Amino acid sequence: MVMSEIFGSLVFNDTVMQERLPKYTYKELKTCIENGDPISLSCATVIANAMKDWAIEKGCTHFTHWFQPMTGITAEKHDAFIQPTPDGKVIMEFSGKELIKGEPDASSFPSGGIRATFEARGYTTWDPTSYAFVKDHTLCIPTAFVSYTGEVLDKKTPLLKSMEDLSNKACRILKLFGKNVRKVVTTVGPEQEYFLIDKSVYEKRKDLIFTGRTLFGAPAPKGQELEDHYFGTIKQRVVKYMSDLDIELWKLGVLAKTKHNEVAPAQHELAPIFTQSSVSTDANQLTMEMMKKIASRHGMACLLHEKPFAGVNGSGKHNNWSMSTDTGENLLEPGDTPEDNAQFLLFLVAVLKAVDDYQDLLRVSVASAGNDHRLGANEAPPAIVSVFLGEELDGILTAIAEDRTYSKRARCDYEIGVSSLPKFKKDTTDRNRTSPFAFTGNKFEFRMLGSSFSIAGPNIILNTIVAESLDQFADELEGAEDFMSAVKALIKKTFIAHKRIVFNGNGYSDEWVKEAEKRGLLNLQSSPEALPYFRTAKNIALFEKHGIFSALEVESRTDILLENYSKVLNIEALTMIDMTAKDIMPAVTTYIKELSDTAISAKAVGIDAKTQVTVAKKLSDLCAAGYKQLDTLKTKVHKAETISNIQDKAMYYRTDVLPAMEALRKTADEMEVNTAEKYWPFPTYGDILFSIKE
């Protein structure tokens, strides 16, 4: 395997374009991308023809406008390259018009009421900032998706808007520092956690098939208590899967770099090198798709739900975010003497201010029914948003706030105590894995995202709120007589005003919950509590000011998220009802009958049958309780579906339906531990979590 031949081999990237496009076309394309100008039809026609020829050589027969609707996954409608000729044959054609514009049905995607069923027209338009690629013998062209009336219907378009807006605001600041910068790019590297289980056990679990998580399941005798899976030796079957996944991702130009076992049994992680936010978003969508597809090839199922198994760690997606200039400078790189790096400190406090001012939006950006199971559990950050800076940066900013000189702590050699081992410099600050938003050297790690999330939403929010801070900073600094004095004063003022958001301690502790409340920080524990904050007047004003969303688009997105929450819980509740009535109860009553028959036979020959009677009685009582809970759940689901107000419906699912589901599960799990294995109707946690053998 020659990496240089594999990497990007299925991507119409810059190297391919330079080889296949006329010089004037390539130059026009690059200029348009750099300046944000529209590409002419004549230029698009030349590019389309080159794309088509390249794709056909790769075995393609079709093309598709690959877009990211508000379902959170990708969408594609395939069209063949063929065009009929007068002699009854066909030729392979792909025009500039077809490259620039497509027309999928806009009424069948979530729109939050923007589009009615009879209003079907929507448009996809080529995003030249992302490379086209080949997947499943189809040329995939990354695109934006908008309605006929101009409203945005996807996740990609507002991401691109937010990136451009932040770039403009950051360049204003850098100009004041004397930097000749044309563009600032936000960069992201999302660490992707996931579970792998054998396909045979997956196919025997209706809950995994329909909902992505187990709705029933008593704990296995062994879980993650020994912490022996984390970074442990990877099983050979998983090694082969990971190897194939790497190769397929590398072909698509995805910078997959790190892979390892995670904490829970059957849990793993893949981490890429971070790159431009829009490109990284495309890459992560492809990563999730390929994870599932390649798992199937290996006789496995890949689970991306945030909490597929109760009692063991769930899966998140750590969003490593930073800002870099077109000259290659990372704006969140502190350097060797961060206390003297005014530019870095200014951008740092801009992020602090953004997170504090818009902690509600960051919480909204990670809200989902699946992630509600994970946030606040002891493997994930709490629902309270806070920032970890570490001792050094906290100390520097505190010194500035108190008008004193920072006493720099020297980096010392790390003494291991074994003479043959090399010495190395110890970092001045430890890391904090309990923080939702942690500074990790030269970037911020936003750790609240769920594993199934599109990273577009959280990064739209991050880019926009930081752009707002930078915009306010630029307004204040552009008229300053003594710029550096004004910068220092602004850093001081900002840190004092927003230091409540900084917390370097244990984010899992009960004490922090109490402390956060004293500080006035939000603790929005569920999605129905968090999502209404999306459409507050303050937040709508922010989005409209920066041209990210209109008020209508904010309203529609809020409704889509609330509606999705209710739909997810409705599907889960209906699945529980089905599994209980059709699988669990019949299995348990059959076992009760066997116990009863055995007891009768035993008594007939004078054998003590107390054990059989006791177990049969216990299971009978559990069945009676289960049937009652089943009826309660049915009633509550029926009532939920009669509620017309979207917010009220979501809240009812949270406060009434979900507790009814949890009560039924508790009873069913108790049945499981008292029922003989051969009678239990589906694989147990032990069967599932340890289904992948060496």
**Distance separating alpha carbons of residues 312 and 606, to the nearest angstrom:** 46
Q: Which helix (H) or strand (E) holds 321?
A: strand 317-325
pLDDT of residue 116: 61
pLDDT of residue 296: 97
**Helix/strand/coil for 84:** strand
| DSSP at 130 | S
**Distance separating alpha carbons of residues 471 and 490, to the nearest angstrom:** 13
**Distance separating alpha carbons of residues 134 and 75, to the nearest angstrom:** 15
Closest to 122 in 3D by CA, of 148, 141, 83, 161: 148
pLDDT of residue 427: 58
Stretches in the chain below the pLDDT threshold 50? none
List the helix and strand counts (H, then E) for the chain. 25, 18
Closest to 312 in 3D by CA, of 448, 470, 447, 195: 195
**Distance separating alpha carbons of residues 137 and 318, to the nearest angstrom:** 32
> Rounded to whole angstroms, what are the CA distances from 129 to 18, 35, 280, 286, 585?
15, 11, 12, 17, 55
**Are 652 and 640 spatial neighbours (Cβ–Cβ below 8 Å)?**
yes
Token pair listed for 325? 């200039």
pLDDT of residue 420: 60
Token pair listed for 307? 């909490």
Token pair listed for 221? 């005798």
pLDDT of residue 226: 72
- By DSSP bridging, strand 317-325 and strand 184-198 are antiparallel
Q: Which helix (H) or strand (E) holds 156?
A: helix 156-176
pLDDT of residue 405: 86
- Which positions ≥6 away from 248 have C-beta within 8 Å? 290, 294
**Distance separating alpha carbons of residues 305 and 453, to the nearest angstrom:** 9
- Dihedral pair phi/psi, residue 453, rounded to 5°: -70, 145
Closest to 307 in 3D by CA, of 381, 380, 228, 205: 380
Closest to 215 in 3D by CA, of 628, 570, 599, 649: 570
Closest to 275 in 3D by CA, of 320, 327, 317: 320
**Distance separating alpha carbons of residues 551 and 549, to the nearest angstrom:** 7
**Helix/strand/coil for 181:** coil
pLDDT of residue 643: 97
**Are 671 and 206 spatial neighbours (Cβ–Cβ below 8 Å)?**
no
| DSSP at 574 | H
pLDDT of residue 10: 96
- By DSSP bridging, strand 256-261 and strand 387-388 are unpaired
pLDDT of residue 450: 95
Count of alpha carbons within 13 angstroms of residue 480, beta-carbon side: 18
pLDDT of residue 419: 61
